[in-house]
Structure 1
Amino acid sequence: MGYISDTLKQRRHRAAVLVSAATHDTTIRLAQLQQLNTKQQGLMLGPSEQMTASLNRYRDYLGHEYAWLVIDCREQLHADAIAACCGTLQAGGLLVLLLPEQPSPFALRLLDHAACFAEIQQQPANESTWHAIGEACQQLSRVTPNNVAPEALKQQQQIVEQLLGSQSPQLLIADRGRGKSATLGLAAKQWLASHHGELLITAPHPSAIAQVKRYVGANHERLRFRPWDKLLQQSPAANSPLIIDEAAAIPLPQLRRLCQHYQPLWLATTVAGYEGCGRGFVVHFEQWLRQRYPQLGYCQLQQPLRWAADDPLERWLWSALLLQQPSATATSSGIDERYHDCHASELDDSLLAQAFDLLLQGHYQSSPNDLKLLLDDPQQRLLLASENGQITGVVWYSQEGPLSAELAVAVQRGQRRPAGNLIPQAVGYYLQQQWALRHRCWRIVRIVVTTAQRRQGLGSQLLQQLRQQAQQQRIDWLATSYGYTQPLSRFWLNNHYQTIRISQRLDKSSGRPACFAAQALSTELQPPLATLVTYQQQQQRWREQQLSTTDVAQFAPPLLDIIDALYDAFINAYIGFNDAQFALFCQHQRGLICLPQTLHRAIDEAQLAQRLQQPSRASALAYLRQHLNLLKN
């Protein structure tokens, strides 16, 4: 049994072996494979020390190319890592994917779609399988990949000429393996040869530009990488030219600021969801770019450079992970009603593809891990709206709470933060509301409708349908979280979701403050939720310096209970300063503590040490807590 053949190499195809029910001696087998990797021709990702790195570090290796790839997903099926790292695999290469012993719906999907390709094999973890894998990896470590197809090189050269020949910014779109980094590098090489000074380049991770620099050649020192957040903190020289790579993995507001502060030459990105970037990025960002730069250029690398256009590994990934847009005419007889509530694993392939494509288009940073979560987590549900067999709207919601009494206490004290139950944990911890951890909540993860249905009321109709279902199942409250904007806030307010918290930290995906909104369904939760709404409103007034001592004196007892709980949580080191400073101010205004004058206005915790004249943030927090504890005692 061999996984590498002359035919595979000649066709510039890649193969995969999916190893199920991995046995106890797998660790030994992996160590043996690592011993073969003396020239680092292979990449091994997984939880054990025999691997090159852990799965969560996969982004560090995206700027490289490998002859073989081992991904150990027995403990954690990481769809993003699988999709992204397969883009580093050369033509003729081999993927070895270790799957969990008990296959989940997502793992079964990988296996089912693999059955359509002779080059994607499923094998048991026995002696013959490991022997064949070892032989293949040893053979691949000595192989030089075949030359690139001429048509792919021709397309690349045409795009390099387009990048260099325009005075307006150029947006370069490509899927993995199309030579995006090489194209940028070749263009940068010629630009540096004809210009003086430096050329800045930024990306979400330094490793993303390793391949770009490789193609720049002698002038690579003049191509200077700067993290995008550092670029926004410094004052640029006039018209500083800038390349932005993997643009879709940078929050949109920050991308816009980069374009405003610098002179963007080329903006390049992957759009197939490999790195947490949905197709919605292209729609939203290109729209903004065309308004700012009417002469914006657009180019797309379609022919793969690293493998053949009909590569079976890529076709398997695109099929299994739903990375390709479904046909516009695809229909299904699976839905015959206006609204349909289900788990993703219950949908046929056509309906699942339609639903997930909507989520990819509607949300800025969707990824293959979202598909895995929808298929594998029984708490994730979909509410679909359809018309004539076509899905027109999707609500993705998560069933959350209640938590056990013991876990609820640990969450409130900041000692535990288990996966899931995002809204109950956020309200229970940041606002110290234990009731939130004891009741059933449905969290709206995402809501999206087709372009044709926007501003037609379908989103609100879906929310009303979800509310009816929740009431029938005696759910206590509904909630959501989103990156705050005024239009989004109006949408949720119009649908009776009141703002209960706006974080002062910016969400890493949207670049905006995370906003939490909710509505009570049970009569029991109406008073505490109304109090949280009032607390958020008063806190906002304080941030805007519109709150007086008289106002605080008139706070109702339920509001004072929240303030007392947050104050106690801070002095006991359960919560941080950012989440407690309004409560501290209120306690000062009530005459219960004496807060230094420098802390009467909203500041960031990073400024605390300077305000209290302490050497570090930790010492400033310790000093403040000690001061408050002395006053309390």
Structure 2
Amino acid sequence: MKKFLTELEEDLENAMEGRHRRLVVISGDDPEKVGEAAKEVLLTYDRLRRIRGLEDGRVLYVFHDEFPEARKIKDIVKEAVKEKAETFKLDINVYEASNRLLGTTYQGLVLDLTKDLKPNDVGRLVEVVEGGSPVILLVPKWENWDTLKTLFKMNLCVPQYPEPRHVFITWFKRKIMEHPSHVWHADEERIIKQEKFESPKYVPKKPEPPEKGQFPRKLYSLALTQDQVNVIKSLEWMLGRKKRHRVLIVTADRGRGKSGAVGIGLAGFVYIFPKSKNAFTKVIVTSAEPLGVQTLFNLLIKAAQTLGMKTKKIERKGLIYEVHGEGWSVEYWPPLEAAERNADMVVVDEAAGIPVPVLHKIWRNHKRSVFATTIHGYEGAGRGFNVRFLPVLKKDKETELKHVTMDEPIRYAKGDPVERWLYDVLLLDAEPAKLDEEDLKAIEEGRLKYLKLDPHWLFSKEGEETLRQLFGIYVLAHYRNEPDDLGMIADAPHHTVRAVATETGKVVGALQLAEEGPIPDDMVVDLLRGGKIPGNIIPDRFLKHLRVLDFAKTKGWRVVRIATHPDVQGKGIGTFGLQRMSEEAKKRGYDWVASGFGVTAQLLRFWIRSGFLPVHMSPDRNPTSGEFTILVAKPLSPKLNDMILEANRLFRRKVLLSLHLNYRGLEWDAAKLILETDPIPIEPKLKVPDLHPVDIDRLWVYSYGPMTFEAASDLIYRLALIYWSQPRAWRPELDEDTKIVMITKVLQGRDWEEVFEETRIGFKKQVAVLKEFGRRTLRHYWGIEKEGGTGVSNSSVEMFLAMKGKKLFDFE
């Protein structure tokens, strides 16, 4: 131990000179020995801080308080620090509180991983530590750690697969050994590994504020790096507006101070923003969760006070939701609400965690918008934001765009070895393969391979490059990608990984699959009554919403994620992958394949082309993504064919009858695609609508005369329901504009202006196509032309008396 501490002390001394961090791992099953070793490391660090004249530090200690062994380790460390440490105090927390620690800064970290290793926790907490400090991991006995049934692993299991795989911790251990680190075996009191890192002496660079600016100069004194100065200066640029939209993009790796810089700049914006007398400046900030904007709010308050502005904050459950002062407010709203509310400017923090359709709405609906995002990190896929959102902004002639990048870390110096280890072990910087001309040619010619990948091989040295390419595609293609996803690929026992590759082995498509079903008999009744089951999303929804008991006995693959290399999207790679996956599933004896995703017409069209049918959709939008989650399924056996066809029919009927309620905000192109996915009609026996003669009379007057839509809306609504319910062969012929207006104006009940905003079909055209729909209906069902109209006469009353008691429709 003395030798271990001597080497560590030298390395920590160098780390302080270079403003870098050091990784220390203490392994063992004896809580007393692990606690004593952790104590010695912290007291060694305290001695070095005393020599350098440092004080008032804080070391973060995080553990699982439900385990007696973890509590014992904590007590040993806590008592030693309290009695002997002179330069820092211990801040003790449980993992459940890790979210609220984001944006804080500590002078050391102890992570107790003896009972669990959750990748997200490691990704969050390691980055709160500043340079010159140790990151200490307490782990189980080194030899036994791989197969330990941790909380994270067991939460990945499902009833059909109660035992997890043991892959991720083996990978985690290998990455510790591949990077500079100090690993101590406390149980056996021996060094497992000790490798120092040579940090160059850190020479701080003082940020230089701009010579001229609109913000007060003292505001820039809060910036810690030149990158932060540049971001604050860019917020000055947001004060003006030459074009319809002015957009600022801020991109950075984790720990670059992006949120803080935006918060400081916002204080300058509300301080200077030109406003007429008695006008009010309103800024909306949004993120996937209110937790994500706390650093921004805290720096906003500090900056506002620096400028002498009085501020008041509004909090809920310990989180800031609003900061306001005289004549201004900065408010948090969820992404979808932020898109729809009026404001002088909208700031989106961690924009990569927000779906692109919502980002488009925010941009389109506001004159000024700021999109700040992490390029690499657990918060989201920054590169995906670059690939799918930025190009649209750049092409728009009505948008003036400014892009600021941040490279310099705030808490530690560049080249930090712990950051390198963290990015490596969690694949935070994973990228897809670089494709050459030969690869592109092979893809165009359809020369592709379907790869069946074993997680044990993927996370080995031999498979690591393939894993990086595969995970890199997920990072680019999905709006939210977390380290926990990596752990799930490794250890979830019912998950399977498949890939599409070129002939040279470069991954261009990635699929993550989860086996679901059959449901144990003793759980079926509970699910029907609203109970829950881990995993098994597709069987659960079929049982709860479609009440199909037989589905409980089936088994299939749910496509958890499917993604294509961003450079070759639209080349049939995803379709190829789904086809081969379906073939494999059939050979395995599965009954179905299915998936769930935030519905857009583009995505739904892709799945339908591959033989999938929509069968269920959430009645509410996802509060983060702003999308309705839809489930699609494809039968692989005759029995499931009839079941899924009927599920699709019932689903379309539900959507048709709910468009004016739950799905009033559903995008028209997605709604239209759902209604037109009709292998069997909603009402296969419905023939001619048996309208009352008075109603036919009204329909004629509306279609050919002066009657307004509002006066005939009940008729048009009933006829629209009939149109989408009947077999296609029995419907009148309609053009696309008429169908679109029928969905938006008639079935969803939007006003004329809303329809125009959504569809770009003007008011006059909307009126014209609905009248034409009435005419076509009269001709198609009753053979009535303009000259053959019933007119308004007493004969209508006579027919009414003759038809008393008749049903509205004839279901023969």
TM-score by length of 2: 0.59
User: Aligned letter for 1:213?
Assistant: L
SS in 2 for 1:505: coil
User: Aligned letter for 1:431?
Assistant: L
> Using the alignment, how far apart are the partners of 1:26 and 1:249 within structure 2?
42
- How much has 1:489 moved relative to structure 2? 1.2
> Using the alignment, how far apart are the partners of 2:131 and 2:631 within structure 1?
47
User: Aligned letter for 2:290?
Assistant: H
Matched with 2:237 is 165
* Residue 146 (structure 2) pairs with residue 42 (structure 1): no
- How much has 1:73 moved relative to structure 2? 3.8
Counterpart of 1:399 (choices 515, 531, 535) is 515
* Residue 97 (structure 2) pairs with residue 57 (structure 1): yes
> Using the alignment, how far apart are the partners of 2:97 and 2:550 within structure 1?
38
Query: Which segment is superposed worse, 434-443 or 510-519?
Result: 434-443
Matched with 1:10 is 17
Matched with 2:131 is 91
RMSD: 3.8
Counterpart of 2:449 (choices 334, 338, 353) is 338
* Residue 403 (structure 2) pairs with residue 298 (structure 1): yes
> Using the alignment, how far apart are the partners of 2:329 and 2:116 within structure 1?
36
Counterpart of 2:183 (choices 115, 122, 139) is 122
Aligned residues: 533
Matches within 5 A, 1:603-622: none
- Tell me if structure 2 keeps the 8 A contact 1:330–1:350: no
Matched with 2:414 is 309
Matched with 2:551 is 436
User: Aligned letter for 1:489?
Assistant: L
Counterpart of 1:390 (choices 484, 491, 506) is 506
* Residue 257 (structure 2) pairs with residue 182 (structure 1): no
Counterpart of 1:274 (choices 378, 391, 399) is 378
C-alpha distance 123-395 of structure 1, shift in aligned 2 (>3 A): same
SS in 2 for 1:272: coil
C-alpha distance 126-261 of structure 1, shift in aligned 2 (>3 A): farther
Counterpart of 1:414 (choices 519, 530, 540) is 530
- Tell me if structure 2 keeps the 8 A contact 1:343–1:378: no
SS in 2 for 1:44: strand
> Using the alignment, how far apart are the partners of 1:337 and 1:122 within structure 2?
44
- How much has 1:154 moved relative to structure 2? 2.9
- How much has 1:148 moved relative to structure 2? 4.7
User: Aligned letter for 1:511?
Assistant: G
User: Aligned letter for 1:258?
Assistant: I
Query: Which segment is superposed worse, 199-208 or 317-326?
Result: 199-208
CA deviations over 1:248-282 (Å, ceiling 9, x no partner): 33344443333344443432121313124453233
Counterpart of 1:481 (choices 559, 578, 596) is 596
Counterpart of 2:296 (choices 188, 209, 213) is 209
Query: Which segment is superposed worse, 249-258 or 517-526?
Result: 249-258
Matched with 2:350 is 246
C-alpha distance 81-291 of structure 1, shift in aligned 2 (>3 A): farther
- How much has 1:463 moved relative to structure 2? 0.9
User: Aligned letter for 1:205?
Assistant: P
> Using the alignment, how far apart are the partners of 2:584 and 2:335 within structure 1?
47
* Residue 332 (structure 2) pairs with residue 227 (structure 1): yes
Query: Which segment is superposed worse, 463-472 or 384-393?
Result: 384-393
User: Aligned letter for 1:538?
Assistant: R
SS in 2 for 1:297: strand
Identity of aligned residues (%): 24
CA deviations over 1:142-197 (Å, ceiling 9, x no partner): xxx98854588233323432342354321101111212133223423433443365
Matched with 2:563 is 448
Structure 1: segments with no counterpart, 5+ residues: 131-144, 556-600, 604-633
Query: Which segment is superposed worse, 336-345 or 516-525?
Result: 336-345
C-alpha distance 312-327 of structure 1, shift in aligned 2 (>3 A): farther
- How much has 1:433 moved relative to structure 2? 2.9
Counterpart of 1:512 (choices 617, 623, 627) is 627
> Using the alignment, how far apart are the partners of 1:214 and 1:32 within structure 2?
38
> Using the alignment, how far apart are the partners of 1:205 and 1:105 within structure 2?
34
Matched with 1:153 is 225
- Tell me if structure 1 keeps the 8 A contact 2:248–2:402: yes
CA deviations over 1:544-580 (Å, ceiling 9, x no partner): 4799xxx88979xxxxxxxxxxxxxxxxxxxxxxxxx
User: Aligned letter for 1:306?
Assistant: R
- How much has 1:373 moved relative to structure 2? 0.5
User: Aligned letter for 2:62?
Assistant: L
Query: Which segment is superposed worse, 178-187 or 491-500?
Result: 178-187
CA deviations over 1:193-238 (Å, ceiling 9, x no partner): 433654633433243425533651413724744222399279856x
Matches within 5 A, 1:317-336: 317-326=422-431, 328-329=433-434
C-alpha distance 228-315 of structure 1, shift in aligned 2 (>3 A): same
Matched with 2:780 is none
- Tell me if structure 1 keeps the 8 A contact 2:255–2:410: yes
- How much has 1:339 moved relative to structure 2? 1.5
SS in 1 for 2:363: helix
> Using the alignment, how far apart are the partners of 2:114 and 2:549 within structure 1?
36
> Using the alignment, how far apart are the partners of 1:10 and 1:327 within structure 2?
36
Matched with 1:108 is 170
- Tell me if structure 2 keeps the 8 A contact 1:244–1:264: no
- How much has 1:488 moved relative to structure 2? 1.2
- How much has 1:509 moved relative to structure 2? 5.1
C-alpha distance 86-409 of structure 1, shift in aligned 2 (>3 A): same
SS in 2 for 1:66: coil
C-alpha distance 148-389 of structure 1, shift in aligned 2 (>3 A): same
Matched with 1:423 is 538
Structure 2: segments with no counterpart, 5+ residues: 47-54, 72-90, 147-165, 192-200, 208-223, 241-245, 275-279, 312-324, 437-446, 662-674, 676-681, 687-746, 750-812
C-alpha distance 147-409 of structure 1, shift in aligned 2 (>3 A): farther
* Residue 464 (structure 2) pairs with residue 457 (structure 1): no
> Using the alignment, how far apart are the partners of 2:551 and 2:35 within structure 1?
47
- Tell me if structure 2 keeps the 8 A contact 1:424–1:441: no
Matched with 2:219 is none
> Using the alignment, how far apart are the partners of 1:508 and 1:99 within structure 2?
37
C-alpha distance 414-43 of structure 1, shift in aligned 2 (>3 A): farther
TM-score by length of 1: 0.75
